[in-house]
A and B are shown apart, each in its own frame.
Chain A
Amino acid sequence: MRDRLLIYTGLLLFVALVTFPLWQGLAARGSTKGPELKLPAGRKNCVAPIPYMREAHMDLLMKWRDAKVRGQMRRFTANDGTTYNVSLTGTCLTQCHGSREQFCDRCHAFAGVPTPTCWGCHTSPPVVADAGGTS
């Protein structure tokens, strides 16, 4: 048992290295902040609850896409009864969130999520200083 110190030091180092991603994640949660997105002036609700939109906006956009293009359903009724025109550029960006650069790209860049292919075809309103979506 003369190597006890060596063995325990090695074990400790091994455990620390293996669990490094966990520590890093915990540290990052306390020390980093995502981009602050300003809520659009004069509007209280998004088309769906904000936590849902934060997590699953792409699911909703895919549903909108299929419903509109393939099912000709051009109006979307939110849970609160408000109806919206199904349109990424016309509704999401033009009416509330401003440009793609000011709203979508900032979070996607922060989270390291690749920019989706939407923008190959869909257009974005131009960047306007102090428009909805800037911090």
Chain B
Amino acid sequence: MKLTRKDFLRILTGTAVAAGAGTLVHAVGSDGTETSNRTATGKQRWAMVIDLQKCRRETGCTKCSAACHRAHNVPQMPDTAREVKWIWNERREHVFPYQESKYTRQTLPETLPILCNHCADPACVRVCPTKATWKREDGVVMMDYHRCIGCRYCMAACPYGSRSFNYLDPRPYVGTVNPDFPTRTAGVVEKCNFCEELLAQGRLPACVEACPQKAMLFGDLNDENSSVRLILGARFAVQRKPELGCGPSIFYLV
């Protein structure tokens, strides 16, 4: 059979359209509507549940953040524009905006502890140009300070404001240095690491251990008998901004 120029072009266009349509169908079909519930690829997915009813019993308590910041040599910057935080208390209207009604306000404490959400699909990881931040198999969103170039894309991407930048050398502001953990240096971004160094020793995160009300629970979301799964199955819990699809691993029992 002799293939004319016109037929050849016709077949070529047809093939291109078919291939394009296939890709389009695949992209639409795998639309990430389930990201908020997505499980990480690993066996474990570490998560935290914070019981706000217990937390509010201790008004003004900062033991969780104090324990964390002491354990990880987090500097106490005098200038709030340059502060560095891993876990801290934030006003409830900032943590859960649009849920502020004068009739329901009393159910939440004035301030709530917030930290890195160790998202299932973290925005910070997507934007990092050097892979200095990545998601571990066990769900921890890790930082490699050796690789961080201080571009702060991750800070722009994180919808929870969980990351801090070291504008200054933090060493003079650390106080008593914990020799078991490094400090950071000027020009890198830092954030909560879910106490991965303690998890490796089989211990709980420092904030969980420090909480006088035992308001924080820590466990594996992929294990249906873990403490976090049992309580999440029994009580109503909320995540921060779940509509963004990052899949936060920090839950608040209200």
Contact = CB atoms under 8 A, between A and B. Distances in A.
Nearest to B131: A70
A107 B21 CA distance: 65
B144 interface: yes
**Overall SS of chain A's interface:** helix
A122 B182 contact: yes
Contact of A72 (B145, B180, B185, B200): B200
Contact of B183 (A72, A117, A121): A121
Interface in A110-130: 117, 120-123, 125
B179 A94 contact: yes
A89 B180 CA distance: 8
Interface in B128-181: 134, 136, 142, 144-146, 177, 179-180
A60 to B, nearest CB: 15
B198 to A, nearest CB: 12
A123 B144 contact: no
A123 B177 contact: yes
A89 B144 contact: no
Nearest to B140: A72
Interface residues of A, number: 14
Q: Which of A69, A94, A121, A125 has the most CB of B within 10 A?
A: A121
Contact of B184 (A72, A90, A121): A121
Interface residues of B, number: 15
Contacts of B200: 72, 74
B180 A90 contact: yes
A65 interface: yes
A72 B180 CA distance: 16
Contacts of B184: 121
A123 B183 contact: yes
A29 to B, nearest CB: 36
Interface string B183-208: 11110000000000000100000000
B127 to A, nearest CB: 19
Contacts of B179: 89-90, 94, 123, 125
A74 B185 CA distance: 23
B142 to A, nearest CB: 8
Contacts of B134: 70
B39 to A, nearest CB: 20
A116 to B, nearest CB: 11
Choose among B177, B182, B184 the residue with the greatest number of A CB atoms under 10 Å from its CB. B182
Contact of A121 (B136, B180, B182): B182
9 contacts: A69-B142, A69-B144, A69-B146, A72-B136, A74-B200, A90-B180, A94-B179, A120-B185, A121-B184
The 8 closest A-B pairs by CB, nearest first: A120-B185, A121-B182, A122-B182, A69-B144, A121-B185, A121-B183, A123-B177, A121-B184
Interface of B: 134, 136, 142, 144-146, 177, 179-180, 182-186, 200
Given A121-B182, A121-B183, 19 more contacts: A65-B146, A69-B142, A70-B134, A70-B144, A72-B200, A90-B179, A90-B180, A94-B179, A117-B185, A120-B185, A120-B186, A121-B145, A121-B184, A121-B185, A122-B182, A123-B177, A123-B179, A123-B182, A125-B179
